[in-house]
Chain A
Amino acid sequence: MAEPLLEVRDLSVAYRTDAGDVVAVDRVSFEMARGEFLAVVGESGCGKSTLLYAITQLLSPPAEIAGGEVRFGGRNLVTLDGEELRRLRWRGYSIVMQSAMNALNPTLSVEAQFGDAMRAHGPAGDEEVRARSEAVLKLVGIDPVHRRSYPHQLSGGMRQRAMIAMALLFDPDLVVMDEPTSALDVVAQRSLMRQIKDLQERLGFAVLFVTHDMSLVSHYSDRLLVMYAGQVAEIAPTRVCFDTPLHPYSQGLFGGFPSIHGPRLPLVGIPGSPPDLLTPPSGCRFHPRCAQVMAHCPVVSPDLITVGDTEVRCLLYAPNQGRPEGAAIAAARPAAAPVEVVT
């Protein structure tokens, strides 16, 4: 892979509570290339939003980064000096939050909020702010006259797109999105996703997209990262992950979608519930719910194992420890293709 845009290495986040530390993100590692669309999926409570805020350095007490690095543009954001970090914000990477109604200041106009961001990073005259505001609004398909509007005057979909417009003010290299479609209806969701993909192709930024709606994102993402109980369970190119998931958890996740065209099959869910992160299960965190659990799963904590173009945290595929079927699958996998996104 060419020099990655974002490198996350062994990132851990803990919530300091009276009852002890809850490790919401446990030694997560992955990379992103320029212009790549990486989707992070998982159940509620798996730590994906926390991961997002940790990467963008937006955690609030009692959550704090407990270890690891986040390398962006060659610099480690975790240890970056306050002022340098502030200068990097929004210019290098920006964020789109889940609810635009809550993320936009209700007492300031759209243009004023754009202007705030612009003026935080250098002098910007009124004319400049106006011009740039109109430009980004046009980008997302909003009539520029709405720059004077207040958030409550826009429809839900428009608000979300206004947030995206704001995220693109400085033409960043990476846009991080936290479930931006969850608050919208199905039609608006599709429309927004298409718009995001279109913008990505035009402007070339990378997208880190957190969602629990796997079917929606699978049409647009290049790679999929499945999280479980604060850890990376599986990372693979989207189609590969969706069609042939390796981790028993992913299999349960993707197996849960009935096909309109295919034969009728009984729905197979995943029994049990996500673990309490204050006292997570020993060994592999998924073992209490796993249909393919082996004798040593409760004992050994698996690392991420490379299986062709997939990385999976499961002992099934561990050489010498896994099952023969696992080894067979591993042998059958094509080698990892270099992830290059043509812009």
Chain B
Amino acid sequence: MRFVARRIGLFVITLWAALTLNFVLPRVMPGDEATAVLSHFRGVNPAALHALQVEFGAGTNQPILSQYLDYLGNCLTLQFGLTASRTPVSTVILQGLPWTLGLVGITTVIAFILGTVVGMIGAWRRGGIFDSLLSPFLFILTTFPVFFIALVLLFTFAVALGWFPISGAYTLATRPSLTLAFVGDVLAHAVLPGLTLVITTAGTWIYTMRNNMVGSLSADYVRMARAKGLPTWRILLNYAGRNAILPNLTGFAMQLGFVLGGSILVEYTFGYPGLGYLFYTGTTNHDLPLQQALFLFYTLAVLVCVLLADFVTAWLDPRTREA
């Protein structure tokens, strides 16, 4: 119980820190961002202007504490103001959310499974051909920046070979529908961005998994499992694998921050209309409300995943429950 309380505590504190960061930064930064944004709004409906003012504390006489509380209240009720093009931020985010959720969600699951299996095989056949080829291969994958891999894939498969579309989530002229053709179209557009993300995410995980497996394979309980006559797959899964993955599940979730960052770059490269692309357009338009809201969303995503990973670890690893 204490474990659960501690993890939730960390969750709440980090969320609070992110919210406060968003509140504090515009008020301490040099330069007149607030005015710059406000200048976009000249001659527009006063309610939106007022909302923005509240957000930045510009042009109000409210004491800072009540501004802060107003702000927190707004965030918790998902009122993030308006974008530069005067649509509600929450609407815009909801449009981009499913694309990013799908892309990042599915690729993370694939990368995790792939990473675990490949890492296990590499460790089981340590020193063998598979393992020795794995190292340099992995090295390249994990040190090359995401956007480079994205650009290479874009060039090779979309431009040079023309196998996949260059950008977008689906062919722009078509209307979204639940037909097989549309679904196929969506999948075709998702392959390259998805592949980029799988490659970069799986890379580090394979490396971690393999090293952990090598450690757990040499443990006495694995020798004991052999002594009992357990079949190999069972030893790999329940004895070596379980003890290799569990301590690192939370670490994997924390890596999600990098994955999300990478997804922003990937969406930009492939013109994929998810939250990452929104982030990019937000920066070109100096659209602070949108950017702030997106920042919060990304932070929340990582926090939720870390919390989930913590709970799964507690569920599967009895030692953590006592901690």
Check whether chain A touches chain B (CB < 8 angstroms): yes
B220: nearest chain-A partner, CB-CB: A102
B40 within 8 A of A: no
Q: Are B224 and A150 in contact (CB under 8 A)?
A: no
B223 at the interface (CB under 8 A from A): yes
Which residues in chain A, 37-71, are within 8 Å of chain B measured between CB atoms? Answer: 56, 58, 60
Closest to B228 in A: A117
B317 at the interface (CB under 8 A from A): yes
The listed residue (A94, A103, A120) touching B221 by CB distance below 8 A is A103
| Cα distance, A107 to B238, chains bound together (Å) | 9
Interface string of A144-168 (1 = CB under 8 A from B): 0000001011000000000000100
> Quick check: A107 and B317 within 8 Å, CB to CB?
yes
User: Does residue B31 face the partner (Cβ distance < 8 Å to A)?
Assistant: no
Residues of A within 8 A of B243 (CB): 105-107
The distance in angstroms between the C-alpha atoms of A153 and B242, with both chains bound, is: 19
The answer to whether B225 touches A102, judged by C-beta atoms less than 8 angstroms apart, is no
Residue A116 contacts which of B228, B246, B317, B319 (CB distance < 8 angstroms)?
B228
Instruction: List, in ascending order, chain B residues with CB within 8 A of A97's CB.
Output: 220, 223-224
> In the complex, which of the residues B220, B224, B316 has the most CB atoms of chain A within 10 Å of its own CB atom?
B224
- Interface size bucket, B side? 20 to 34
Which residues of the partner chain A approach B319 to less than 8 Å between Cβ atoms?
A: 106-107, 150, 152
Does the CB pair B229–A90 fall under 8 Å?
yes
Residue of A nearest to B321 (CB): A150
Which of B218, B221, B234 interacts with A104 by CB under 8 Å? B221
Q: How far is the CA of A108 from the CA of B243 in the complex (A)?
A: 10
Is B30 among interface residues, defined by CB-CB distance under 8 A? no
Cα A107 to Cα B219 with chains together (Å): 13
Chain B residue nearest to A86 in the complex (CB): B229
Q: Is B227 touching A106 in the complex (CB atoms < 8 A)?
A: no
Chain B's nearest CB lies how many Å from the CB of A90? 5
Complex interface: chain A residues within 8 A of B246 (CB)? 107
Query: Is A195 an interface residue when CB atoms closer than 8 A count as contact?
Result: no
* Assembled-state Cα–Cα distance A95/B228 (Å): 8
Q: How far is the CA of A329 from the CA of B316 in the complex (A)?
A: 64
Q: Is the CB of B242 within 8 A of A107?
A: yes
Complex contacts, B238 vs chain A, CB 8 Å: 105, 108, 116
Is B226's beta carbon under 8 Å from chain A?
Answer: yes
The answer, yes or no, to whether A76 is at the interface (CB within 8 Å) is no
Q: B318's closest neighbor in chain A, by CB?
A: A150
Q: Which residues of A contact B317 (CB under 8 A)?
A: 106-107
A60 touching B242, Cβ below 8 Å: no
Q: How far is the CA of A239 from the CA of B176 in the complex (A)?
A: 90
Q: State whether A58 touches B226 (Cβ < 8 A).
A: yes
- On chain A, the residues within 8 Å of B227 by CB distance are 56, 58, 89-90, 94-95
Set of chain A residues within 8 Å of B239, measured between Cβ atoms: 105
Interface flags for B204-248 (1: CB within 8 Å of A; 0: not) read 000000000000001111011111111100100011001100100
How close is A205's CB to chain B, nearest CB, in angstroms? 16
Q: Once the chains bind, are A87 and B220 in contact (CB under 8 Å)? A: no
Question: Which B-chain residue is minimally distant from A163 (CB atoms)?
Answer: B224
How close is B222's CB to chain A, nearest CB, in angstroms?
Answer: 9
Interface string of A95-129 (1 = CB under 8 A from B): 10101001111111100000011001100000000
Within the assembled complex, what's the spacing in Å between the Cα atoms of A106 and B238? 11
Look across to chain A and name the residue whose beta carbon is closest to the beta carbon of B222: A105
8 interchain residue pairs of minimum CB distance: A89-B229, A102-B220, A117-B228, A150-B318, A103-B220, A105-B221, A86-B229, A103-B224
Can you name 11 extra interface pairs (CB under 8 A) apart from A116-B225, A166-B228?
A56-B227, A89-B228, A91-B229, A102-B221, A103-B220, A105-B225, A107-B316, A107-B317, A108-B238, A121-B229, A152-B318
